[in-house]
């Protein structure tokens, strides 16, 4: 952590807030605060300069037009790129996962250049994946089943530098671009360097506190004691029971 306060960035909430993913920053702040770690949320709007020295960055999902604005901003403003070069953590959800890749093709068949920090490409799946998404984590440090909801038309293919976040138990996750053979095993998300990206909304960190704590732990260098927040275990149990997962 650069200063005594954990600084959590929410980038472009006015275009990437459609699915409630700005809640991820609130969860990070609250889980830090309950452990007596001072934390603040810094909202960085579309017209603001992206600071390069925040401790954790969060990016949310959005629809195609909003997503292309975000892609343009991230290509023009070097702030996030510099932060990633310095190894700072980034959590990216759905549309942002796609934007961080080499390129994505949207529902109108427009190919949009991404930031190129994830070795992935995204094409339309030909249908929309909407519903619960459950996966078993593949990232070291995570043991608990990952749960969220997905709502996307894009299917993402990972290159050799990118690792999946989880092995899908229910739902689609990264999916299959139209015309491609579905892979025998379905995966969700992408892990590459200090970036964790996923198709899970929820907000993702409200549903998956272990992932929230991993991000706080990485940013602060602290080993965190377990923390029970009332309602969180019940929410997870209810969601997973509903699916029979
Ligand atoms: N527009 C993208 C898609 O449909 C991302 C949607 C989202 O962020 N939920 O694939």
**Residues in contact with 117: Cβ distance below 8 Å, sequence separation at least 6, in sequence order:** 81, 84, 100, 192, 193, 195
pLDDT digits (tens, 9 = 90+) for 141-179: 999 999 999 999 999 999 999 999 999 999 999 999 999
Q: Where are the alpha helices (DSSP H) in the chain?
A: 23-33, 64-76, 79-85, 95-100, 204-207, 209-220, 232-243
Residue nearest to atom 3 of ligand 1 (CA): 152
**pLDDT at position 87 over 90:** yes
Check if the beta carbon of residue 176 is closer than 8 Å to that of residue 168: no
Q: Is 104 in the pocket of ligand 1 (CB under 6 A)?
A: no
**Residue 95 Cα to ligand 1 middle (Å):** 5
Q: Are 70 and 96 in contact (CB under 8 A)?
A: yes
Ligand 1 binding pocket includes 151 (Cβ within 6 Å): yes
pLDDT score of 2 more than 70: no
pLDDT in tens, 4-21: 899 999 999 999 999 999
Match 């427009």 to its residue by tokens: 110
Which residues are within 8 A (CB) of 209 and not within 5 positions of it... i.e. 6 or more apart? 27, 31, 227, 229, 232
Q: Which atom of ligand 1 is nearest to the CA of 61?
A: 8
How would residue 242 be classed by pLDDT, with cut points 50, 70 and 90? confident
For ligand 1, whether the C-beta of 210 sits within 6 Å is no
Expressed in angstroms and rounded, the spacing between residue 73 Cα and the centre of ligand 1 is: 17
Rounded to an integer, the average pLDDT of 183-193 is 96
Pocket residue to mutate for ligand 1, from 93, 124, 153, most atoms within 8 A of Cβ: 153
Calculate how far, in angstroms, residue 102's C-alpha sits from the geometric centre of ligand 1. 16
pLDDT surpasses 60 at 245? no
The model's confidence at residue 243, banded by pLDDT at 50, 70 and 90, is confident
Distances (CA, A) of 91 to 20, 165, 183, 230: 14, 12, 25, 24
Q: Is the pLDDT of residue 104 over 70?
A: yes
Other CB atoms within a 10 A radius of the CB of residue 146 amount to 28
Q: Which atom of ligand 1 is nearest to the CA of 94?
A: 8
Render the burial of 166-189: b for 16+ CB within 10 Å, e for the rest.
bebbbbbbbbbbeeeeeeeebbbb
Contact (CB, 8 A) for 111 and 218: no
231 CA to centre of ligand 1 in angstroms: 28
| CA atoms of 94 and 96, how far apart (whole Å) | 5
Give residue 153 CA to ligand 1 midpoint distance, Å. Answer: 6
Q: Which pLDDT does position 57 carry in this prediction? A: 98
Reported pTM: 0.97
């Amino acid at each position: 952590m650069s200063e005594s306060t954990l600084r959590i960035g929410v980038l472009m909430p006015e275009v990437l807030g459609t699915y409630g993913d700005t809640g991820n920053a609130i969860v990070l702040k609250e889980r830090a605060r309950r452990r007596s770690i001072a934390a603040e949320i810094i909202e960085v709007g579309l017209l603001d300069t992206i600071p390069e020295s925040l401790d954790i960055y969060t990016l949310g999902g959005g629809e195609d037009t909003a997503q292309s604005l975000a892609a343009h901003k991230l290509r023009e403003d070097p702030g996030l790129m510099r932060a990633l070069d310095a190894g700072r953590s980034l959590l990216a959800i759905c549309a942002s996962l796609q934007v961080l890749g080499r390129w994505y093709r949207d529902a109108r068949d427009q190919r949009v250049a991404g930031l190129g920090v994830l070795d992935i490409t995204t094409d339309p799946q030909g249908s929309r994946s909407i519903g619960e998404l459950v996966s078993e984590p593949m990232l070291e440090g995570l043991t608990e089943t990952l749960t969220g909801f997905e709502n996307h038309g894009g299917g993402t293919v990972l290159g050799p530098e990118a690792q999946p976040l989880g092995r899908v138990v229910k739902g689609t996750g990264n999916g299959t671009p139209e015309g491609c053979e579905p892979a025998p095993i379905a995966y969700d998300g992408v892990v590459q360097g200090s970036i964790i990206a996923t198709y899970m909304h929820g907000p993702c960190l409200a549903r998956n506190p272990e992932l929230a704590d991993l991000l706080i732990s990485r940013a602060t260098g602290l080993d965190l004691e377990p923390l029970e927040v009332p309602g969180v275990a019940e929410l997870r149990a209810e969601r997973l029971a509903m699916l029979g997962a």
